Each structure stands twice: as C-alpha cells, then as structure tokens.
Amino acid sequence: MDLEIEDIQKRALYRLAIEEIKKQENIESITEKSFSSLEDDWLSNFFDKCKLISDNEMQTLLAQILAGESNTPGTFSKRTIEFISILDKSDALLFDNFLKYCWFIGGYQPLIIDYNDNQIY
C-alpha cells in the first residue's frame, strides 16, 4: 500500500513539474515577443541602468517605462532612461509632482503658476 501511494506521489509531482515547465515556457515566449520589438541597444542600455536601482518605487517606475516602450517602441529615448537612472528618489517625486501640472495639447505643456503674481503661463 505504501509503495502504491509513493508511486502516485511521484506521478503527481512529475505532472506538476510538466505543467509548471509549460507555464514557464509560455511566460518566456510572451516576454521574448514583447522584447523583440525593442531595439537591442535600447534594451541593453535600459538593463544596464536598472541593475543599480534597488528602491521599490523606482523599480516600479522603470517597469512602467519598459512596459510603455514595449507597447509603443520609440516612446522613451536612451536619454530619458539615463535621466531617470540618475535621479534620487526625492527628485523623482518632485518631477512626478511637476508632471501632474502638465497638459497634453499637441504635446506635453507644463502649467506654470507664478504664485507672486497669481498668473498661469
């Protein structure tokens, strides 16, 4: 009886391993297809800059940039990646706050308020 249960367990583990391998192959295939539209130089530059980023929020920002570039190649330049990679988290938060005051009218247009004169430029 114990031998029979052990045999069933081995078959179950084998089946689970085969299922997980297939799932992993699917994930890698999808990832490869999304990266195939990206320029090799851009991707190499991106990963080179990412390897030093340990802050979770900055990693999320870079993940969003990668997703955006994957969806629409050419959206983010290498210069943009360089800029993001050298920002401190506090600078990135300030920049994010600034972007909340930009409008998209034929391109991004910053909304700048002069608090002294209460005028909007």
Distance CA 93, CA 41 (A): 28
Q: 85 versus 106: which is more confidently predicted?
A: 85
Q: What is the 3-state secondary structure (H, E, C) of the chain?
A: CHHHHHHHHHHHHHHHHHHHHHHHHHHHHHHHHHHHCCCHHHHHHHHHHHCCCCCHHHHHHHHHHHHHHHHCCCCCCHHHHHHHHHCCHHHHHHHHHHHCCEEECCCEEECCEECCCCEEC
For residue range 29-50, list pLDDT tens digits in order: 877 777 777 888 888 888 888 8
User: Is-contact 121 112, C-beta < 8 A?
Assistant: yes
For residue range 70-96, list pLDDT tens digits in order: 888 888 899 988 988 888 888 888 887
Q: What is this structure's pTM?
A: 0.57
pLDDT of residue 121 exceeding 50: no
For residue range 4-27, list pLDDT tens digits in order: 888 999 999 999 999 999 999 987
